[in-house]
Amino acid sequence: MKTVGGLVLEKTGICRLKGFPVPHAFSSTKLGNMSRKYGEDAPKNQALFFDLVGINPEKVIKIVPEFKDKVLVVNETIEERLECDGLITFRKGTVLALLPGDCAPIIITDSDLTFVALLHAGRKNLFEILDSAMKKIKDFVFSPNELLFGIGPSIKGCCYLMDLPNEIKNYLIGNHGILPSQIFDANVCTFCTKIGKEYLFFPTEEVKNSKKKKEGSLRWLGSKAGRSRLFL
pLDDT in tens, the chain (232 residues): 899 999 999 999 999 999 999 999 999 999 998 888 888 899 999 999 999 999 988 889 999 999 999 999 997 656 788 999 999 999 988 899 999 989 999 999 999 999 999 999 999 999 999 999 999 999 998 999 999 999 999 999 999 889 999 999 999 999 999 999 999 999 999 999 999 999 999 864 433 333 444 444 334 444 433 322 122 2
Which residue segments constitute the domains of the chain, with CATH numbers given? Answer: 2-224 (3.60.140.10)
CA atoms of 10 and 14, how far apart (whole Å)? 5
| Amino acid occupying residue 167 | E
Classified as helix, coil or strand, 135 is helix
**pTM for this model (two decimals):** 0.88
C-alpha 52 chain-centroid distance? 18
Q: Which residues of 119-143 are buried (b: 16+ CB within 10 A; e: fewer)?
A: bbbbbebbeebbebbbebbeeeebe
